[in-house]
Structures are given as structure tokens and as C-alpha cells.
């Protein structure tokens, strides 16, 4: 009888050990994917911030909103580096209270280099596309504003003068996107 109890205890401990290995592996895989996403989004944040500061005047603050991830997990394969939706939004302030938001997605602005095992800037992360995103998101923001409110945004213009004194807040913290 005593031997039977020991065998049951050993089996339970063995099962718990195997479960902890499986759960730990999934956790580490997810953390590894998050780090890859953060590195890719950091490229976007650095490029866009540098471009804004050097090419647009009238910006008081550039505030990044972190790394948003919509996880698309497979119950069999676990987390997927390529199957998830990842973005980063930036608030571009023209005054203390007036801003507009532009969203950049990881798959649009970067490519994953299988040789380097990391994200690299893609050809679409360029001045023309950045200007288009800024212009269209600004227009969407001010569309329903009063004329007085719209005038606050007139300070923002493309110029080689730039916004060298703009406050910049980078943010690579992970948050889950909810729809």
C-alpha cells in the first residue's frame, strides 16, 4: 500500500513538472514575440519622430502610445510572430490640448528579415507615405471641428524649419488591442 502511494505522488509530481515546462515554454515564446514587436515598432517610432521633428513646424509634443498587439494564438502552435496584428499610435500635439492621432502598423512599415532574425524598415516607411498619413489623419480629425478649433491646427505645416523644441515621449510598453 505504501509503495502505491509513493507511485501516485511521483506520477503527480511528474505531471505537474511536465505541465510547468509546457506553460513556461508558451510564456517564453510570447515574451520573445513581444520583444521582436517592440524592436520593430522602435524602428517606426524613431523614423517617424525624426521625420516629424525635422520636417514639420508647429508641433509641441509627439507622444507614442505603446505597442498594441492583437494576439492570434493557435491552440496547437501557440503564439505566432507573423499572424498577429501589431500597431503603434502617435499623438501629435499642436497645443497643450489639441492633437491628432496617426496609426502605424508593423506589417506596413517594416519587413521581417529571416537572415537577421529581426524587423527592418521597409520601402513604405518613407517621406511620401508619412506625409500622406499625417495629412489624411489630420483632415479626419479637424473635419467636424468649428472654424476656430481648426485654426489651432494651422500651425502645423511642412517646413525645413521643423519642430526642434518638440517634447518627445517614446513608449514601447505592450498592451493588448481590444475591438
* pLDDT per residue as tens digits for the range 53-64: 999 999 999 999
For residue 128, pLDDT over 60 is answered with yes
Task: Give the angle subtended at the CA of 93 by the CAs of 155 and 53, to the nearest 5°.
Answer: 75
Chain centroid, CA 70 distance in Å: 11
For residue 74, give the 3-state DSSP assignment.
strand
Residue 107: its pLDDT value, please? 86
**Number of structural domains found in the chain:** 1
In sequence order, the β-bridge partners of residue 99 are 93
Instruction: Supply the range of the domain harboring residue 148.
Output: 2-176
Rounded-to-integer distance, Cα 62 and Cα 137, Å: 15
* pLDDT per residue as tens digits for the range 145-167: 999 889 999 999 999 999 999 99
* pLDDT per residue as tens digits for the range 112-123: 888 888 889 889
pTM for this predicted structure: 0.81
Of the given ranges (11-15, 51-55, 70-74, 104-108), which has the lowest mean pLDDT?
70-74
For residue 9, pLDDT over 90 is answered with no
Cβ count near 122 (within 10 Å): 17
Residue 15: its pLDDT value, please? 82
Residue 177: its pLDDT value, please? 82
Q: Which of 12-21, 83-92, 114-123, 129-138 holds the top average pLDDT?
A: 129-138
For residue 78, give the 3-state DSSP assignment.
strand
Rounded-to-integer distance, Cα 61 and Cα 169, Å: 8
Compute the mean pLDDT over every residue in the chain, rounded to the nearest whole number: 87
In sequence order, the β-bridge partners of residue 158 are 56
What percent of the chain has pLDDT above 70?
A: 90
Q: Report whether 142 contacts 177 (CB < 8 A).
A: no
Residues whose CB falls within 8 Å of the CB of residue 33, separated by 6 or more in sequence, listed in order: 79, 80, 81, 84
Residues whose CB falls within 8 Å of the CB of residue 40, separated by 6 or more in sequence, listed in order: 86, 106, 110, 112, 118, 119
Amino acid at each position: 500500500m505504501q509503495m502505491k502511494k509513493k507511485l501516485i505522488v511521483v506520477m503527480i509530481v511528474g505531471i505537474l513538472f511536465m505541465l510547468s515546462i509546457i506553460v513556461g515554454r508558451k510564456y517564453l515564446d510570447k515574451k520573445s514575440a513581444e520583444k521582436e514587436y517592440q524592436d520593430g515598432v522602435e524602428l517606426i517610432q524613431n523614423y517617424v519622430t525624426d521625420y516629424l521633428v525635422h520636417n514639420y513646424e508647429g508641433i509641441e509634443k509627439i507622444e507614442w502610445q505603446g505597442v498594441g498587439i492583437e494576439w492570434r494564438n493557435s491552440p496547437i502552435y501557440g503564439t505566432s510572430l507573423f499572424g498577429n496584428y501589431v500597431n503603434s499610435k502617435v499623438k501629435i500635439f499642436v497645443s497643450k490640448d489639441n492633437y491628432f492621432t496617426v496609426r502605424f502598423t508593423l506589417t506596413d512599415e517594416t519587413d521581417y528579415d529571416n537572415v537577421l532574425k529581426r524587423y527592418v524598415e521597409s520601402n513604405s516607411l518613407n517621406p511620401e507615405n508619412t506625409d500622406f498619413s499625417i495629412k489624411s489623419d489630420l483632415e479626419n480629425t479637424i473635419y467636424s471641428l468649428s472654424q476656430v478649433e481648426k485654426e489651432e491646427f494651422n500651425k502645423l505645416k511642412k517646413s525645413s524649419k521643423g519642430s526642434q523644441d518638440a517634447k518627445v515621449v517614446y513608449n514601447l510598453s505592450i498592451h493588448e488591442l481590444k475591438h
